Amino acid sequence: MTVQTNEEADQIDEKLTEIFVQCEKDRSQLIPILQKVQETFGYLPKQAILAVSSHLEMTDAQIFGVASFYNHFRFTPLGKNPIQMCMGTACHMVGGGLVLEGLERALDIEVGGITEDKEFSLDRVACVGCCGLAPVMVIGEKIYPKMTSTKVDEVLVNLKIEIKEKTESEGGEQAAKKG
Ligand code: FES
């Protein structure tokens, strides 16, 4: 569970106020407001759902119901390395679903979730525009073409090694600066 400090809660409130100022106070604005919230925070924080519910005079269950209808919205923050599995038609037809299942197993999270160490989050997305490379996985900005469920472990192991090396070299640089 994400533990939020008062300072973070105040920052969220401040940004929500900016979003509400830009949008009419009308229920027809629910989706555009939720989209702006997600663009701003990368997900829909509980605090934001409650604020939107009071802004539009709807219950939080109504807001949650609408938001969970769309795959696009997520309720947990993005990981440091957000993983997106394309589930557009071309990717779906050549085994995208199996790759997605492989990712869920390897990361031990479900779609829309985040790993305990906050390194990875997992989402399914619509066509990312390179159908010739299907099935396609995207991690951060990098495209992984022609994925299979067996390639998933290899990609994740390599990525974890890269992350570890990067963390160690950053730690070394900081120690050198202090020393
Ligand atoms: S359907 Fe996956 S890249 Fe187009």
> Of 2-11, 76-85, 89-98, 154-163, which gets the smallest average pLDDT?
2-11
> What's residue 5's pLDDT?
78
Kindly list the structural domains of the chain, giving each domain's residue range(s) and its CATH number in brackets, ordered by start: 6-69 (1.10.10), 81-178 (3.40.30.10)
> What's residue 171's pLDDT?
76
> What's residue 108's pLDDT?
96
Chain centroid, CA 3 distance in Å = 18
pTM: 0.78
Protein residue closest via CA to atom 1 of ligand 1: 88
Q: At what angle do helices 30-41 and 46-55 cross, to 10 degrees?
A: 150
Token pair of 175 as six digits = 């120690």
Ligand 1 close to Cβ of residue 128 (< 6 A): yes
Q: How far is the CA of 144 from the centre of ligand 1 (A)?
A: 12
